[in-house]
Amino acid sequence: MNLSLLREHIEKYRSNTKANPGKYNEELTERMALTAYYQSWTVDRLLQMTAEDLYEYLARLWAMLIWGNKQYAVGKLIEDNGLESIKNGLAELVWGSGEIEKRWDDFRGQMKGFGPAMMSEILCKSRPTEYIIWNRRAYVGLNYLGVKNLPRYNYQLTGKKYLELSQVEKTIAIELQKAGVGEANLLTVDYFIWDELQVEDTLAGIFTKKKPEDLPPIEKTDTTTSTFIHNEIRDKLADVGSWLGFKSQIEVKVSDGSKVDTIWESTIGNMGRVIYVFEVQTKGSIDSLLVNLLKALNNPAVQGVVAVSDAEQLEKIHKHAALVGELAKKLKYWDYKNVLEIHEALSMVNESINGLGLVPQGF
């Protein structure tokens, strides 16, 4: 980390604090209120959550700004995971006695639809002296400060990396304290990053194309990493579908013993349903993927089937599918790197528009 650059921005932050004390006192009060709220959710209280409680708990998160209809988003989490599993998972993630690396990885592996931004925000607001908020803005800020090996995609943010980044940001908190921000903790650091480190050219450059070596072929990743990639793409396909106006579902049963990863569904007037099916391929059997897609095509509402993977895997899938006449005519191919880019772009659009508050939340 470039400490001289950091201290330069801290000095600017302190100057702005003195010039506009009302703004910063308001932010301090807000941080204290957020921390008090999330710390009030003890283990026992989390385990007694109702669906309405969970909505209140999650709807306050900044990570939820990408959703215009937060009730729908929370309902999907309950549908995909079950309320009991969510309650138990949150209690262990936030207040568990085990190492954060394991708690983080366990939660990521068990829960569908909870991304690192949401998880880290819950952790930071509950335990602001220990854990950070990790999102696109944090990436931009730390990248600007010269921090190396930052996770560009969710699957790269393991529990080990999250702990490492929390240690990095603790350095920023210490520097803020040295400069006179006596109450500085890791939630303070998040405010500082938003105020001082969102450099325009850095933020714009986040969407520049990555070199191929930045995203290794799926076949060369270990099993754990490939599973995280699979689940991240599965969930992000569902997000993209929802943002485009479809009803999205994950892990949908198409026949006995067969599930597909994601579907987009729409009802057209009184004409019936239109369904698009997506299967994400990492280290599983290509033949199994093709069988699932063939079974999906037995449903007359299915208008398209899409295989999602990296370029190398898609080439193999294309060769296998060429031997299956009916499927070969209808199968489409989507590079997962493109899915990640589209998801990130749409999330920025949705966050910006929803931040205007044009559409009030429903009951």
The residue whose two tokens read 């709807």 is 59
**Per-residue pLDDT, 200:** 55
Q: Is 130 exposed, middle or buried (0-12, 13-18, 19+ CB in 10 A)?
A: middle
**Per-residue pLDDT, 66:** 82
Mean pLDDT per 10-residue run, the chain (363 residues)? 95 91 90 96 97 96 86 91 97 97 94 93 97 94 95 90 97 95 91 87 49 64 84 91 90 79 86 86 86 87 91 91 84 92 85 68 46
The residue whose two tokens read 């910063």 is 24
Q: Please say whether the dihedral angle defined by the alpha carbons of residues 63, 64, 65 and 66, taken in this order, is positive or negative.
A: positive
Buried b (16+ CB within 10 A) or exposed e, 165-195: bbebbbebbebbeeeebeebbbbbbbbbbbb
CATH topology for 218-347 is: Restriction Endonuclease (3.40.91)
The gap from C-alpha 310 to its chain's centroid, in whole angstroms, comes to: 20
- pLDDT tens-digit map of 280-293: 998 878 888 898 89
| Distance separating alpha carbons of residues 9 and 142, to the nearest angstrom | 13
- Evaluate whether 103 touches 93 at the Cβ level (below 8 Å): yes
**Per-residue pLDDT, 154:** 86
**Per-residue pLDDT, 315:** 92
**Per-residue pLDDT, 203:** 46
Provide the 10 A C-beta neighbour count for residue 360. Answer: 7
Q: Where are the alpha helices (DSSP H) in 186-335?
A: 186-196, 200-204, 223-243, 286-297, 311-321, 325-330
| Distance separating alpha carbons of residues 312 and 337, to the nearest angstrom | 12
How much is the CA Rg of the chain, to the nearest whole Å?
Answer: 22
The residue whose two tokens read 């659009």 is 349
> Which amino acid does the sequence have at 88?
N
Domain residue spans of the chain? 3-208, 218-347
Read off the pTM. Answer: 0.79
**Per-residue pLDDT, 360:** 56
**Per-residue pLDDT, 270:** 67
Bridge partners of residue 304, in order along the sequence: 276
| Distance separating alpha carbons of residues 164 and 170, to the nearest angstrom | 10
